[in-house]
Chains A and B, each alone.
Chain A
């Protein structure tokens, strides 16, 4: 069973989370539900720091043994930092998707975009819907 979705962050319909760091940046990753769907993640293609992305544009790629999945940026902005450890330990996403398995930090162009995302309760309800 997927872990509870923490209330301190926002969620996209593509199963990314974004946590406002309070300094104009967000930390983002994929949700526990997403890692559970992918299972055994063996490769993460990280964006280069400095890369500019728009909200819901492809930011990274996560590969499990069987599949390749795009990871979308939950906000528009510039990548300031990536989680380099994932290059050698991609399984961190499986183990701790909401924590040590974070993917990137992004300096937001427009913090109001966070309002386009769901809160934890909304996302949890959304998951119930997709699982019918």
Chain B
């Protein structure tokens, strides 16, 4: 199993470690509910070094990305981030990722951990096919440390260990800066539904930054947070997870990614997706709340009037909302909020209701 530069720290903190896409990662340090609450109420620090980073550099970088990404990057300003999917030729999802823009021909892709290699291979293949000779694709995952600092007190904590002011940094924007004295990229973004930051420093500095954040955040109640709470936080906020909600045979129109699929531009998979949009999709990802007792989990079957109609992709007990929630694929005719569905939980059928996403939305200041 691969280890992040923070592995020894996790062991020392008494984390329960699991195999996550080939990486030994902390699933929890104390327990999921406590870590979830800490992130919603104060601040949580996440080791995200396992995620992939690919730099796309050189003349033609923009044109190559326009060609492989579903998102139209036309208006993207320097410092702005964009969420996109990387579609295959049939319009299925190879990965969902964020695209940072550092200059006119310098971009960074931040990918899921388990998908990084196939993303890189795919983009490389298209680069060769289309003859983007001057574009460099550089896998910087191993040299890059990534920390997510999430929660309402994140800004004041991070500000204590860096000079550049964070307040002007807007949502989904990044800046080149220094954290401690390490060159860093900091963006206001994340995967929890809270205000917060994604911090990139070199792998050999990430331990120092981790320690400094835990120290600087101690009065505010910062805690290290495992992947268990990362999953409940993202699900409460209605965010999807590659491998659960998305795969190579699922289209962005079937999940909640129609908005990152810009058919007005030409890209790989565009024709298939255009066709799909015209014909309409048959199934759709929806949020649901379980009304009976019980917790729906990944893979549980969805029924309506005794007939099997779909499957749960993610499900959990939501610590902030104090109820069982989840995401499921259902036929489009069952997508409307308020629709009653039944979920098979072992030998029982639990009543559930389709609801609008997200389940949880933070109060804006």
Contacts and interface: CB of A to CB of B under 8 A. Distances in A.
Given A45-B346, A61-B346, A66-B228, A40 B294 contact: no
A61 B345 CA distance: 11
Main secondary structure of the interface of A (DSSP, over half): strand
Interface residues of A, number: 12
B297 A39 contact: no
Contacts, number: 41
Given A39-B28, A40-B32, A65 B232 contact: yes
Give the secondary structure class of B's interface: mixed
Given A45-B346, A66-B32, 10 more contacts: A43-B294, A45-B293, A61-B346, A63-B295, A65-B32, A65-B36, A65-B316, A66-B27, A66-B28, A68-B297
Q: Which 4 A-B pairs have the closest CB atoms?
A: A39-B31, A65-B32, A42-B317, A40-B31
B293 A43 contact: yes
B221 interface: no
A64 B30 CA distance: 13
B33 interface: yes
Interface residues of B, number: 20
Contacts of A68: 295, 297
* Interface hub of A61, A63, A64, A66 (most chain B Cβ within 10 A): A66
Interface of A: 39-40, 42-43, 45, 61, 63-66, 68, 87
Contact of A65 (B293, B317, B346): B317
A43 B290 CA distance: 13
Contacts of A64: 32
Interface string B97-125: 00000000000000000000000000000
